[in-house]
Chain A
Amino acid sequence: QKEVEQNSGPLSVPEGAIASLNCTYSDRGSQSFFWYRQYSGKSPELIMFIYSNGDKEDGRFTAQLNKASQYVSLLIRDSQPSDSATYLCAVILSGNTGKLIFGQGTTLQVKP
């Protein structure tokens, strides 16, 4: 079992819809969770981080964390074609190692 798992997609949504991206992780002691966006041929850029159970909102983005279910998600409201990219979920493992482990990424396509 991979330590961080995502559905590779592609996830296709119409412009203006809500895109929902999901991620599960295996290390129950993990405390820090990140969402990165990566455009084709570019490096990853951080868009959200979340440390506590519940929701965290930043503009059109909402990160949701459920530690009991070992599940983290990213919602993108009013999706735009410019949101089309690969979204990478990343988790810092427990044990004070500093290791950040990434999922394989979900490709999002927003169609005009």
Chain B
Amino acid sequence: NAGVTQTPKFQVLKTGQSMTLQCAQDMNHNSMYWYRQDPGMGLRLIYYSASEGTTDKGEVPNGYNVSRLNKREFSLRLESAAPSQTSVYFCASSTQGNSNQPQHFGDGTRLSIL
């Protein structure tokens, strides 16, 4: 009963390197989300996917791309990492994005960019 699984849990990158953060859910949820969390900022929505085959920008999409590979998987890519992208990244899923159903979160990826 894994829920939402994120990989990796920790990563250190150099400025300019690229990286893909992976997220998979086994709850048959339609909607998936990527957030970043910085100290004192709460969670800010980067991108979300209301259903398989669709993606939309959130509050802070610049510098990121996403891919909804299938219903289970939603990846986040940093093409050219910058120190400002040092953060904790959370993936979440819900039954349906425009419903009243809550989101379930993964354990997070702690990303440091030097």
Q: How many residues of A contact B (CB 8 A)?
A: 26
Q: Are B43 and A44 in contact (CB under 8 A)?
A: yes
Pick the most buried of B42, B102, B105: most chain A CB atoms within 10 A of its CB.
B42
Contact partner, A43, options B41, B44, B45, B90, Cβ 8 Å? B90
Chain A residues with Cβ below 8 Å from B66 are: none
Contact partner, B43, options A42, A88, A92, A96, Cβ 8 Å? A88
CA of A104 to CA of B38 in the docked complex: distance in angstroms? 9
Q: How many residues of B contact A (CB 8 A)?
A: 26
Task: Identify which of residues 44-81 in chain A touch chain B, using a CB-to-CB cut-off of 8 Å.
Answer: 44-46, 49, 51
Pick the most buried of A90, A92, A103, A105: most chain B CB atoms within 10 A of its CB.
A92
Taken residue by residue from 47 to 74, chain B's Cβ proximity to chain A (1 for < 8 Å, 0 otherwise) reads as 0101000001011000000000000000
B90 (CB) vs chain A CBs: closest residue: A43
Q: Are A88 and B42 in contact (CB under 8 A)?
A: yes
Contact partner, A49, options B33, B98, B102, B104, Cβ 8 Å? B102
Taken residue by residue from 30 to 43, chain A's Cβ proximity to chain B (1 for < 8 Å, 0 otherwise) reads as 01101000000011
Q: Are A99 and B48 in contact (CB under 8 A)?
A: yes
Q: Are A102 and B102 in contact (CB under 8 A)?
A: no
Q: Does A22 contact B (CB under 8 A)?
A: no
Q: Are B106 and A43 in contact (CB under 8 A)?
A: yes
CA of A31 to CA of B40 in the docked complex: distance in angstroms? 26
Chain B residues with Cβ below 8 Å from A88 are: 42-43
